[in-house]
Structure 1
Amino acid sequence: MQTTLENPRNAKSDTLPFSRNNPFQAKVLKNINLNGTGSSKETRHIELSLEGSGLSYAPGDALGIVPANDPDLVHSLLMEMEWDEETDVMINKQGETLPLKEALTAYFEITLLTKKILQQAAAFTENEKLQQLVLVENAVQLKEYCNGRDLLDMLRDFGPWKASAQEIVSLLRKMTPRLYSIASSMAANPDEVHLTIGAVRFNAYDRERKGVCSVLCAERVQEGDTLPVFVQPNKHFYLPESEDKDIIMVGPGTGIAPFRSFIQERAISKAAGRSWLFFGDQHAGSDFLYQNELENYQQNGILTKLDTAFSRDADQKVYVQHKMLENSKELFEWFENGAHFYVCGDKERMAKDVNEALISVIEKESACTREEAETYLDNMKKTGRYQRDVY
């Protein structure tokens, strides 16, 4: 079935440049699962056509996708509230309207709750639990309630509601585009853009939850369909201007994405600088994303070094930061030689652990204090030699 994810806000002329407010309908050329049998993960490699868009990007940039909500979740909302899906609702201050089902599918954010939504919703119900929850002294509990719950939870938990569909949707925020690090070089793939997207699925409060955009890409977007996209430049994550400079890249899991773009770019430009990649995931057999490509780059000398860490393949969990510490002496030699260091991926744990490993490497190899190692690292940041794309 041919699907086009129309964005009702953006019915603008194709003569305008494509942008966040006027996304380009990019045709899906390829959509494959990179994980092997037995993996607990699903990582999609998606190739999109930019032909005729006039869009261009540099390695390190991101692609924005304007997603649509899960039809099953929209259906559940309509059933829960016994709403007529054809009812027209106003979607913005300009007075534009859409049928309710379309508004819930393509215009409003329905998977995220905020304190403000709950506070305003309290006016439409006499439910005592909600009246208590929104009291100033219960701010901590209110924040906890919002975490991992969505609009359907709120409507089920705090009824009966004395509100129209219009009053409920007026509480909601506009759908925000999702940004993904671009996994291709334009020099290597003219008129195309590639993405590496991990499908987000988890159970919370007795329901399965799905990432709005990642599961759209994993379950509902087929080759030949289109996605509304735009390029988001990233001025804080880019290759060195000089191709003679060495680069060290740390990108476990989907953090590999921008480094695939870096390596492709340097393969085309025949850069003289060396490159070193640290990649990690759970299992080598099922989770080594882009394994053949990376090993070919290594054999051809485009990728100088490739170190991998597969955390579930041994009794002791091994992560990328452990591989960095194992290569402490050589890493520091690369730093002293002017190498640029990059990290992409999980902000909460991985990026912190990598930063800690960097300090340890500098401290050990230059026989300095921790403070001096931190100053060394700060200088690398200030000169653009230590860059992070973390989320």
Structure 2
Amino acid sequence: MQLQATNSPFDQEQAELLNKLIPTLTEAQKLWLSGYLAASQSLAAPRGPAAVVKHGSILPVSKEVTILYGSQTGNAQGIADNSSKALKEKGYEVTVSSMSDFKPNQLKKLKNLLIIVSTHGEGDPPDNAISFHEFVHGKRAPKLEDLRFSVLSLGDSSYEFFCQTGKDFDKVLEELGGKRLTPRVDCDLDYDEPAAEWLSKVILGLNEAQGETASEAFQEASATLAEEATYSRTNPFHAEVLENINLNGRGSNKETRHLELSLEGSNLSFEPGDSLGIYPENDPELVDLLLEELHWNPEEIVTVNKQGDVAALKQALIANFEITVLTKPLLQQAAQLTENERLHELMSAGHESELKSYLSGRDLLDLVHDFGPWAVSPQDFVNILRKMPARLYSIASSLNANPDEVHLTIGALRYESFGRSRSGVCSILCAERLEPGHTLPVYIQHNQNFKLPANGETPIIMVGPGTGVAPFRAFMQEREETGALGKSWMFFGEQHFVTDFLYQTEWQKWLENGVLTKMDVAFSRDTEEKVYVQHRLLEHSKELFHWLEEGAVLYICGDEKNMAHDVHQTLIGIIENEGSMTHEQAEEYVARMQKEKRYQRDVY
């Protein structure tokens, strides 16, 4: 909207000057300017306690801040913990809690609430946010006229329901009467800078009376949100490959790599249940095809980040940018770089289903081939690409059992799509181009939502078909090292016993020495009728329910859409039948297990 003397407090000359200036400002400059003006106003005002005006009267602003996080892999929890540190340094009294640990009846007492939440699956809340999400959307949710709130959502723009859980919370808190401290921020996979900007705006919103500028807040937020460890997500450690072994036997339809990496000199530490983040490289052959399609010089220098670092175009496409996944935001930006009518039509209203279909199973090479010509510079083109995201893998070893090492179990992904062979970026790097002596940029992703019980006598039940076996290998190594006495039961599944029984000799050793109490396996292609892990659970339903009644913790790791969903439904059925409960009572039983951290999932 253009400023006019008639629609603003400025005279015509001031309005014209502002209309020329505002469109030229970057987001960072606008943020700084807003902080500067707030500072100027507060410096001119009488000093005193921070206050807000409500219904004509002045009320003191509460210094109490509650941060609630919903996190599946640990990112949201990490941001929550670091945001707490930043706010405490500003003199705020901060409470940080998982949504599952928060008592919903306390919600109406809060004055300042920060929500930091990821989105899981097809727009679903992460496991530890489910109960709170249901509460605020239910009939028992209180009116929140005295609440000030802000939401930071984490997501992946390649998914249809990008940041949906954060959007849900933002909408419902407003509907319940809450007022936004600052607008919701939706973060893609590269969340560091937007998270720091969000926190700086939150601090300004909470602390306007101090007159802090936006630029100061942003710098402090960025520093606080940075990991304390020397090596981190933003500064990965280059780990040397010690071993790279194919776990599958000759003739298998699968290729599963066992990787052993050295962490010597990194000071990195982890617990069973944590993940390792790897920054992979794209297949150079795919990059060559892309450059050939675009007729670009592979040696042309391009800027690869906001810090101004540069690289040759080919190397930049190999190491710095994602080229194997298409997202709606990418196509929206690409449409600005071509006059291709088909792309513009695809992005127009009413073509949502066609767009969704096009995004599935295609990559950047398809995009440039289908919608040229591209009369733009390589720099303009790479500017629209997402940074290469890290791939997270469940750690398959115990640090106590293997000091200065981390082990991974990675399934090689190869498939055909739209007439071309495709492959997983990281898994095929590990399967085909990674040798002992090479290095990988890595960091530790801590995950407090998937942990062994503190009491070693607590029974555990582990369900991990395929590469989902990885964290349970770490669990067993840890229990062996610590001498834990609790019972343990493993359910493993794959295609064939002879070629696909991952870590078979290790499981047999743990069964023999008593570290593992029971093991049930399902090899789906060895029988006429396919048998999966959920069928084995059902076969042992009475004993399984008895373990649960004894207080066992149940863990699931692996594919979410099929395996984890089927296991979840089977679990509810077992509890319903063996516990003589209604379906609703069985669902409540499982929900209670989740709340008590006796039902934990690491699913993807």
**TM-score normalised according to structure 1 size:** 0.95
Which position in structure 1 is the counterpart of 2:549? 336
In the TM superposition, what are the counterparts of 1:68-79 in structure 2 within 5 Å? 68-79=281-292
- Residue-by-residue CA offset, 1:226-263 (whole Å, 9 max, x unaligned): 11111000010000000010000000000000000000
What residue is the counterpart of 1:90 in the other structure? 303
> Within 5 A, what are the aligned runs for 1:104-119?
104-119=317-332
Q: Which residue matches 2:380? A: 167
**Secondary structure of the corresponding residue to residue 39 of structure 1:** coil
For 2:459, the equivalent position in structure 1 comes to 246
1:7 counterpart residue number: none
Decide which moves more: 20-29 or 114-123. Answer: 114-123
Name the Cα RMSD after superposition: 1.1
In structure 1, what is the equivalent of residue 410 of structure 2? Answer: 197
- Alignment partner of 1:80 is 2:293: yes
Q: 2:575 aligns with which of 362, 384, 389?
A: 362
State the partner residue of 1:323. Answer: 536
Matched, 1:33 2:246: yes
Aligned to 1:184: 397
Question: Residues of 1 paired with 2:391 and 2:369: CA distance?
Answer: 27
Identity %: 60
Most deviating of 110-119 and 40-49: 110-119
Deviations along 1:277-300, whole A, 9 cap, x unmatched?
000011111111001110111111
SS at structure 1 position matched to 2:351: helix
| SS in structure 1 at match of 2:597 | coil
Does residue 295 (structure 1) correspond to residue 485 (structure 2)? The answer is no
- 1:124 is aligned to 2:337: yes
User: Residue 223 in 1 paired to residue 436 in 2?
Assistant: yes
2:406 matches 1:206: no
Aligned counterparts of 2:577 and 2:344: Cα–Cα separation in 1: 57
Q: Give 1:104 deviation, angstroms.
A: 0.4
Which of 357, 366, 377 is 1:153 aligned to? 366
Q: 2:518 aligns with which of 305, 312, 315?
A: 305
Counterpart-to-counterpart distance in 2, 1:373 and 1:160: 58
Deviation at 1:16, TM superposition (A): 7.0
Residue in structure 1 matched with residue 275 of structure 2 by the alignment: 62
Cα shift readout 1:188-207 (whole Å, capped 9, x = no counterpart): 10010000000111110111
| Count of matched residue pairs | 377
Q: What is the alpha-carbon distance in structure 2 between the residues aligned to residue 150 and residue 249 of structure 1?
A: 36
State whether structure 2 residue 499 is matched by structure 1 residue 286. Answer: yes
Distance of 2:539 and 2:518 partners within structure 1: 14
Q: What is the CA distance between 1:123 and its match in structure 2?
A: 2.5
**How many angstroms does 1:128 deviate by?**
2.2
Q: Which amino acid in 2 is paired with 1:298?
A: L
Cα separation, 2, equivalents of 1:94 and 1:183: 35
Corresponding residue for 2:6?
none
Question: Which structure would you say has the larger RCO, counting Cα contacts within 8 Å and 6 or more residues apart?
Answer: 1
Distance in 2, matches of 1:22 and 1:93, equals 16
Q: Which residue of 2 aligns with 1:142?
A: 355
Tell me which moved more, 89-98 or 167-176.
89-98
Residue 273 (1) aligns with residue 451 (2): no
List per-residue Cα deviations over 1:138-187 (Å, max 9, x = no partner): 12211211111111100111112211111111110001110000000011
What is the distance in 1 between the residues matched to 2:386 and 2:570?
Answer: 40
Q: Which residue of 2 aligns with 1:44?
A: 257
Residue type of the alignment partner of 1:274: K
Runs of 4+ in 1 over 6 A off after TM superposition: none
Which residue is 1:388 aligned to?
601
Q: TM-score, normalised by structure 2?
A: 0.62
Aligned-partner SS, 2:561: coil
* Residue aligning to 1:3: none
**TM-superposition CA deviations, 1:95-140 (whole Å, max 9, x none):** 3322111110110111111112212212222222112111121122
The structure number with the bigger radius of gyration is 2
**CA offset at residue 80 of structure 1?**
1.0
Mark the runs of 5 or more structure 1 residues left unpaired by the alignment. Answer: 1-14
Deviations 1:298-357 (A, max 9, x none): 111111000000011111110000000000011011011110000000000100111111
Give the Cα–Cα distance (whole angstroms) in 1 for the partners of residues 379 and 340 of structure 2: 20
Q: Structure 2 unaligned runs (5+)?
A: 1-227
Equivalent residue, structure 2, for 1:9: none
